[in-house]
Amino acid sequence: RRVARVWAEVLGVPEVGADDNFFHLGGDSILSMQVVSRLRREGLHLATRDLFAHQTVAALAAVVRTGPQRTGDGPVSGEVPLTPIQQWFLTTPRAAHHHFNQSLLLELDGTPDPAALETALAALLHHHDALRMRFTRNADGWRQFNPPPAERQDVLVHHHLTGLPPERVHAVMERAADALHAGFDLEHGPLLAAGLFTSGPGRPAFLLLVAHHLVVDAVSWRILQDDLESAYHQAVRGEPVDLGERTTSYRDWARGLAAHVAGGGLDHEVPHWEEAVTAEPLPGPALPDPGASHMLTVELDEEDTEALLRSAPTAYRTRVNDVLLAALALALARWTGGKRVRLDLESHGREDLLDGVDLSRTVGWFTTVHPVALSVDTPDDLGPGRDWRALVKSVRRQLRAVPGN
């Protein structure tokens, strides 16, 4: 019952039956990590690969492990190998490597307690080692180091906006946000900053969190938001902050990944990647200059969204990504007149690659990017009679052939 309840909460559905399929209900790899994380908090342990192998509640319940399962005992420190995505970022010429951030703006309920918020933010820096990372550059290139927790690092700036008219509040918040974004120093850190904006009784308060992308990704923000809320409420009640069991540290993941690659653990994949990157470049009109682009925003109504997230995966016995990529591949084939298109796909990067590793509640930049060459056999057939089932099946087969997919 706990597994079914967590599935329903994560998937946003009223209830889940014992034989319902996680992916047919709209689940994906990101949501699977949220399931693993929430079950972990209830003393139930599994790996994300278990969800892919056992896709119903009944099947998954049979492999869930119970009891304590610690993968880390305390804060870590020391030299940390750069991961591939970090190497890509740091070796790419940029105007300012210090300024490449992600942020989250939260509207707060009630009147916030700044002291409790400072305590909660300090707990995040202590618990999530990646937030303390430092980066230095010398003649040999960039290096990454994880220092131990400091006695106290004040990352919160409180902006009192009481008495300002609404139009002035927005301008002040924008300037304060720009200052937070521009204030990071990769060598000295910290790479997490926060701004609290309060305007007095009857007006909402806001909390802006900013972190350098080198130490967070989209999955990390969900973890940080959950832990910040938990830590804040503990601090308000005057309790010692306890964020629970630690998962594998970013340092240990990076070291394990480097050792795996150095030991030839991925050598067997080389022929696949060499073939994938030799796909023909896209023909078509050249852009007038490298910076030229246009953006088109399209919104799906509730009925189409339901069809995409629920009906299509069930009908085609596949995942949402396969359906979307099939449509994209066909559109590009129609535009270029070719039958093979190459795409770069980004994924969360928290694959079950190493034994004994749990990244379900680990903060860091895990993103991976890899090329995929998709073949569309008959791009000219674009009418209503198009055999979409055959196309989706073909794309699904090609995606499953990608190593580690």
CB 354 within 8 A of CB 260: yes
Residue 346's pLDDT band, with cuts at 50, 70 and 90, is: very high
Is the Cα torsion angle 247, 253, 259, 263 positive or negative in sign? Answer: positive
Q: Cα–Cα distance between 181 and 298 in angstroms, integer? A: 30
| Section 88-101 average pLDDT | 92
pLDDT > 70? residue 342: yes
| Section 124-146 average pLDDT | 95
| Claim to verify: residue 151 and residue 215 sit in the same structural domain | yes
Q: What proportion of the chain, given as a percentage, has pLDDT over 70? A: 93
Q: Residue 142 belongs to what H/E stretch?
A: strand 141-146
pTM assigned to the model: 0.83
| Claim to verify: residue 372 and residue 308 sit in the same structural domain | yes
| Claim to verify: residue 274 and residue 158 sit in the same structural domain | no
pLDDT value for 345: 92
| Claim to verify: residue 374 and residue 279 sit in the same structural domain | yes
Q: Cα–Cα distance between 177 and 183 in angstroms, integer? A: 10
pLDDT value for 10: 85
Q: Cα–Cα distance between 182 and 313 in angstroms, integer? A: 43
pLDDT value for 69: 56
pLDDT > 70? residue 67: no
pLDDT value for 316: 83
The reply to whether 71 falls in a domain is: no
| Claim to verify: residue 192 and residue 85 sit in the same structural domain | yes
CB 17 within 8 A of CB 57: yes
Lowest average pLDDT, out of 146-160, 298-312, 382-396, goes to 382-396
Q: Cα–Cα distance between 248 and 156 in angstroms, integer? A: 27
| Tally of domains within the chain | 3
Token readout for 358 is 């749990």
Give the end-to-end CA distance of the chain in Å, rounded to a whole number. 30
DSSP type of residue 24: T
56 beta partners: 21
| Section 16-26 average pLDDT | 84
* Identity of the residue numbered 135: F
Q: Residue 83 belongs to what H/E stretch?
A: none
The candidate with the shortest Cα–Cα distance to 261, out of 88, 401, 141, 81, is 81
The reply to whether 261 falls in a domain is: no
Q: Give the ranges where 48-160 is alpha helix by DSSP (H).
A: 48-53, 57-61, 84-91, 114-127
Q: Cα–Cα distance between 100 and 184 in angstroms, integer? A: 9
Q: What is the pLDDT of residues 205-225, one digit of tens each?
A: 999 999 999 999 999 999 999
Domain hosting residue 159, numbered range = 78-246
The reply to whether 42 falls in a domain is: yes
The reply to whether 251 falls in a domain is: no
Q: Residue 2 belongs to what H/E stretch?
A: helix 2-11
Q: Cα–Cα distance between 347 and 320 in angstroms, integer? A: 14
Residue 289 neighbours by CB under 8 Å, 6+ apart = none
| Section 188-193 average pLDDT | 94
Token readout for 322 is 């396969």
Q: Please give the torsion angle defined by the CA atoms of residues 173, 194, 359 and 89, in that order, rounded to the nearest 10 degrees.
A: 70
pLDDT value for 194: 98
The reply to whether 103 falls in a domain is: yes
| Claim to verify: residue 96 and residue 233 sit in the same structural domain | yes
The candidate with the shortest Cα–Cα distance to 397, out of 318, 312, 311, is 318
Q: Cα–Cα distance between 66 and 43 in angstroms, integer? A: 6
* Identity of the residue numbered 25: L
Residue 327 Cα distances to 300, 334, 394, 395, angstroms:
15, 11, 12, 10
| Claim to verify: residue 275 and residue 306 sit in the same structural domain | yes
